[in-house]
Amino acid sequence: MPAPRRGTQGVRAEGYGARVRRRVLVTDATEFLGPGVVARFLAEGDEVVDVAEPLRSRAQVEALVAQHGPFDVLVANLEAPITVAPVEEHDDATLAELFDRLVHPLFWLLGACLPPMREQGAGIVVVPTSATVLRSSSHPIAGYEAARAAQAALVRSVAREVAGDGVRVNGLAPNFIENPSYFPPETVADPDFQRAVRAEVPARRLGSAEEAAAVVWWLASPESSYVHGTVVPTDGAGGSVERPRRTFRPGGCAAAPGHSGCR
């Protein structure tokens, strides 16, 4: 089990004036938005339990929460590779892996973390999903999109269940964000990839890990205290406009084969 790491400042608790140190759980901490999120919460003075290993069972999650919880904030950062294939080629093993990594762990995390939050009358859950929950990809990634859409549906449904208990559940819909899982440094540095990004993303650049972490932090902060059940677009306006078919694809950039692709 991971050992908690502590920041030095602390934050203002919702409804209180004093600065407090919150206990934060971040999953898949070395993947997707995890590194930037961990760094931001530590910089803000929170105590962070960052879990790098995949969550493969309810018992594993319950043991984690029993040992290190209860948590004031859960960042359910979950990562899975993108399968690019027509829907008829999504076999059972592919679908099982996607849902075992993106959907089932979210149910387990909510089941273990929410009861103490509801009992204490306060708590925050933030779920990074994907921009595909707001606008479908132009590439055949139906299995991945379905799993991410399930996450967004959980955010909206569970938010209604727990809002009256002082618990907030929200998500964000990122794309075109520098991260080790989908846009690693070797991809970002390639000139062909950079040209493709400028052509496709209205903001004409990738977002940084720090910018994505800032959205997570805002959703976990008192500044968003009346925000419940929303999924915040975080994609440089990439999902806001009609675009031609992408010049790079999940799993490989057309201009530079072998690159990690967009999500």
Could you tell me the two tokens for 69?
Answer: 């919880």
Q: Are the C-beta atoms of residues 83 and 263 closer than 8 Å to each other?
A: no
Radius of gyration of the chain (CA): 18
Query: Which among 174, 186, 243, 238 has a CA at the least distance from the CA of 210?
Result: 174
Report the amino acid identity of residue 97: E
Q: Rounding to the nearest 10 degrees, give the CA dihedral for residues 39, 43, 46, 49.
A: 20
Is 16 a known active-site residue? no
State the sign of the Cα–Cα–Cα–Cα dihedral 135, 127, 159, 83.
positive
How, if at all, do strands 73-75 and 23-26 pair? parallel
d(C-alpha 32, C-alpha 254), whole Å: 22
Instruction: Name the catalytic one among 16, 144, 182, 226.
Output: 144
| Amino acid residing at 148 | R
Token pair 């859950």 is at which residue?
125
Catalytic residues: 144
